[in-house]
Structure 1
Amino acid sequence: MEGRAASHFDARLQQRLQDVMRSMEYPIPEERETEWRVALRTNLWKEDIGEIRPFRRLDSELVFSLRSLICALPHRLTLNRIEHSDLCIAPPPHTEQNRTQSNRKIGSCIVVKMGRFLPQILMNITQPVVVVAIVGQYRTGKSYLMNNLAGRKKGFQLGASIQSKTKGIWMWCIPHPTKHGHTLVLLDTEGLGDVEKGDSENDAWIFCLAVLLSSNFVFNSVGTINQQAMEQLHYVTELTKRIRLNSSERRDEIESDDYRRVFPSFTWCVRDFCLQLERNGQKITEDEYLQNSLMLKPGLSEDVRQYNLPRECINEYFHSHKCFVFDRPTSTENLQHLEDLQDLDLNKVFVEQTRRFCNYTLTEGRVKTLAGGREINGRLLGNLAKTYVEAIHSGSIPCMESAVVVLAKMENDEALKDVVSTYRAMMKSNEESFPTETQDMLLDMHRICEQVALGVFLGSSFQDKDQKYIQELKRQLDDKFSEFSKCNENKSATRCKEVLKILWASTETDISRGIYMKPRGYLQFSENKMWLVNEYNKTPGKGMKALEVLQDFLNKIKDVEVGIMQADQTLTQKEKELQANKASEAALQREKEILDMKNKHTEQLLLAERRSYEQNKKMLLEKMEADKNRLREENKWLIEQKMKEIENVKNQEFQGKMYKLQRDIEQLKAKKTKDEEDGGWCVIA
Structure 2
Amino acid sequence: MDSNVEMAAPMPLIKDIDGKLEVCPEAIEMLSKIHQPVVVVSIVGYARTGKSYLMNKLAGKNAGFILGSSIQSETKGIWMWCVPYQGRPDQTLILLDTEGLSDTKKGDVKYDCWIFTLAVLLSSTLIYNSLGTITQQAVDNLHFVTELTTRIKAKASPIYPKVADSYEEVADSAEFVGFFPTFIWTLRDFTLDLELEGHPITVDEYLDMYGLELRKGDTEEIRQYNLPRECIRMFFPTRKCFTFERPTETKKLKYLEMMQEEELNPDFVEQAGQFCHYVYEESKQKTIPGGHVLTGHLLAELVKIFVDTICKGDIPCMENAVVHLAKMENTEALCEATAHYDGLMEQRLNLPTETFEELLEIHDKCEEEALQVFMDRSFKDDTCHFQIELMETMNKKKENYRQKNELSSSKRCSDILALLSQNLRDKIKRGSYIRSGGYQLFLKDRKIMKKKYHNESRKGVMAEEVLKQFLKDKDEVGKTILQTDERLTEIEKEMADAKAKEKTAKQELQIQKNKETRQGQLKQQNERSFCTHIQHLIRKMRGEHTNVLEEQNRIISAKSKELHYFQGQKLFAHASLMQTEINYFEQRRAQTEISYATSPRMEKLLSAAIVVLGILASIALVLLHTLLKL
Common fold: TM-score over 0.5: yes
1:156 match: 65
Tell me which of 357, 379, 397 is aligned to 1:480.
Answer: 397
Cα distance change on mapping 1:359 and 1:448 into 2, 3 Å: same
Q: How does 1:197-208 map to 2 (within 5 A)?
A: 197-208=106-117
Which runs of 5 or more structure 1 residues have no equivalent in the other structure? 1-63, 82-104, 655-685
Tell me which of 488, 508, 514 is aligned to 1:597.
Answer: 514
Q: How does 1:654-673 map to 2 (within 5 A)?
A: none
2:142 match: 233
Question: Using the alignment, how far apart are the partners of 1:240 and 1:641 within structure 2?
Answer: 19
Moved more, 453-462 or 629-638: 629-638
Tell me which of 184, 194, 201 is aligned to 1:284.
Answer: 201
Deviation at 1:652, TM superposition (A): 7.2
Q: When the two structures are superposed, what TM-score results if normalisation uses the length of structure 1?
A: 0.79
Q: Check if 1:217 corresponds to 2:126.
A: yes
2:98 match: 189
Q: How does 1:622-661 map to 2 (within 5 A)?
A: 622-642=539-559, 644-645=561-562
Q: How does 1:66-215 map to 2 (within 5 A)?
A: 71-81=7-17, 105=18, 110-116=20-26, 118-215=27-124
Cα distance change on mapping 1:469 and 1:442 into 2, 3 Å: same
Q: How does 1:78-477 map to 2 (within 5 A)?
A: 78-81=14-17, 105=18, 110-116=20-26, 118-249=27-158, 253-254=170-171, 257-291=174-208, 292-431=210-349, 433-477=350-394
Deviation at 1:642, TM superposition (A): 4.2
Cα distance change on mapping 1:311 and 1:159 into 2, 3 Å: same
Deviation at 1:129, TM superposition (A): 1.0
Tell me which of 485, 497, 501 is aligned to 1:584.
Answer: 501
8 Å Cα contact 1:112/1:392 also seen in 2: no
Q: Secondary structure of 2:434's partner? A: coil
Query: Which amino acid in structure 2 is aligned with residue 588 of structure 1?
Result: A
Question: Using the alignment, how far apart are the partners of 2:5 and 2:288 within structure 1?
Answer: 31
Deviation at 1:455, TM superposition (A): 1.3
Question: Using the alignment, how far apart are the partners of 1:250 and 1:187 within structure 2?
Answer: 34
Higher relative contact order (CA 8 A, sep 6+): 2
Q: Secondary structure of 2:154's partner? A: coil
Deviation at 1:284, TM superposition (A): 1.3
1:554 match: 471
Query: Which amino acid in structure 2 is aligned with residue 126 of structure 1?
Result: H
Q: Secondary structure of 1:76's partner? A: strand
Deviation at 1:599, TM superposition (A): 0.8
Q: Secondary structure of 1:298's partner? A: coil
Count of aligned pairs between the two proteins:
562
Question: Using the alignment, how far apart are the partners of 1:392 and 1:345 within structure 2?
Answer: 45
Q: Check if 1:620 corresponds to 2:566.
A: no
Q: Secondary structure of 1:78's partner? A: strand
Q: Secondary structure of 2:398's partner? A: helix
Question: Using the alignment, how far apart are the partners of 2:543 and 2:260 within structure 1?
Answer: 47
Deviation at 1:568, TM superposition (A): 2.4
Moved more, 584-593 or 554-563: 554-563
Q: Secondary structure of 1:111's partner? A: strand
8 Å Cα contact 1:79/1:206 also seen in 2: no
8 Å Cα contact 1:277/1:286 also seen in 2: yes
Deviation at 1:367, TM superposition (A): 1.1
Question: Using the alignment, how far apart are the partners of 1:354 and 1:158 within structure 2?
Answer: 16
Cα distance change on mapping 1:209 and 1:191 into 2, 3 Å: same
Identity among equivalent pairs (%): 43
Deviation at 1:574, TM superposition (A): 2.7
1:37 match: none
Query: Which amino acid in structure 1 is aligned with residue 14 of structure 2?
Result: T
Compare CA radii of gyration and give the structure with the larger one. 1
Deviation at 1:143, TM superposition (A): 0.6
Moved more, 69-78 or 480-489: 69-78
Q: Secondary structure of 1:437's partner? A: coil
Question: Using the alignment, how far apart are the partners of 2:277 and 2:557 within structure 1?
Answer: 22
Deviation at 1:342, TM superposition (A): 0.9
Cα distance change on mapping 1:533 and 1:250 into 2, 3 Å: closer
Q: When the two structures are superposed, what TM-score results if normalisation uses the length of structure 2?
A: 0.86
Question: Using the alignment, how far apart are the partners of 1:363 and 1:354 within structure 2?
Answer: 14
Question: Using the alignment, how far apart are the partners of 2:194 and 2:566 within structure 1?
Answer: 19
8 Å Cα contact 1:79/1:202 also seen in 2: no
Tell me which of 555, 558, 573 is aligned to 2:490.
Answer: 573
- The C-alpha deviation readout for 1:401-456, integer Å capped at 9, x for no partner, is 0000000011000000000000110011123x321111111111111111111111
1:658 match: none
8 Å Cα contact 1:122/1:381 also seen in 2: yes
- The C-alpha deviation readout for 1:200-227, integer Å capped at 9, x for no partner, is 2221111111111001111111122112
Q: Secondary structure of 1:177's partner? A: coil
- The C-alpha deviation readout for 1:607-650, integer Å capped at 9, x for no partner, is 11112212321221111111112223333334444455456667
Q: Check if 1:507 corresponds to 2:417.
A: no
8 Å Cα contact 1:207/1:235 also seen in 2: yes
Q: Secondary structure of 1:134's partner? A: strand
- The C-alpha deviation readout for 1:378-403, integer Å capped at 9, x for no partner, is 11111111111221222211110000
Deviation at 1:74, TM superposition (A): 1.4
Query: Which amino acid in structure 2 is aligned with residue 335 of structure 1?
Result: L
Cα distance change on mapping 1:227 and 1:389 into 2, 3 Å: same
Query: Which amino acid in structure 2 is aligned with residue 112 of structure 1?
Result: E
Cα distance change on mapping 1:349 and 1:653 into 2, 3 Å: farther
| Aligned-pair Cα RMSD in Å | 2.1
Cα distance change on mapping 1:245 and 1:269 into 2, 3 Å: same
8 Å Cα contact 1:78/1:112 also seen in 2: yes
8 Å Cα contact 1:80/1:113 also seen in 2: no
8 Å Cα contact 1:75/1:115 also seen in 2: no
Question: Using the alignment, how far apart are the partners of 1:227 and 1:581 within structure 2?
Answer: 110
2:600 match: none
Cα distance change on mapping 1:644 and 1:177 into 2, 3 Å: farther
Question: Using the alignment, how far apart are the partners of 2:37 and 2:51 within structure 1?
Answer: 25
Question: Using the alignment, how far apart are the partners of 2:155 and 2:554 within structure 1?
Answer: 22
Question: Using the alignment, how far apart are the partners of 1:646 and 1:351 within structure 2?
Answer: 38
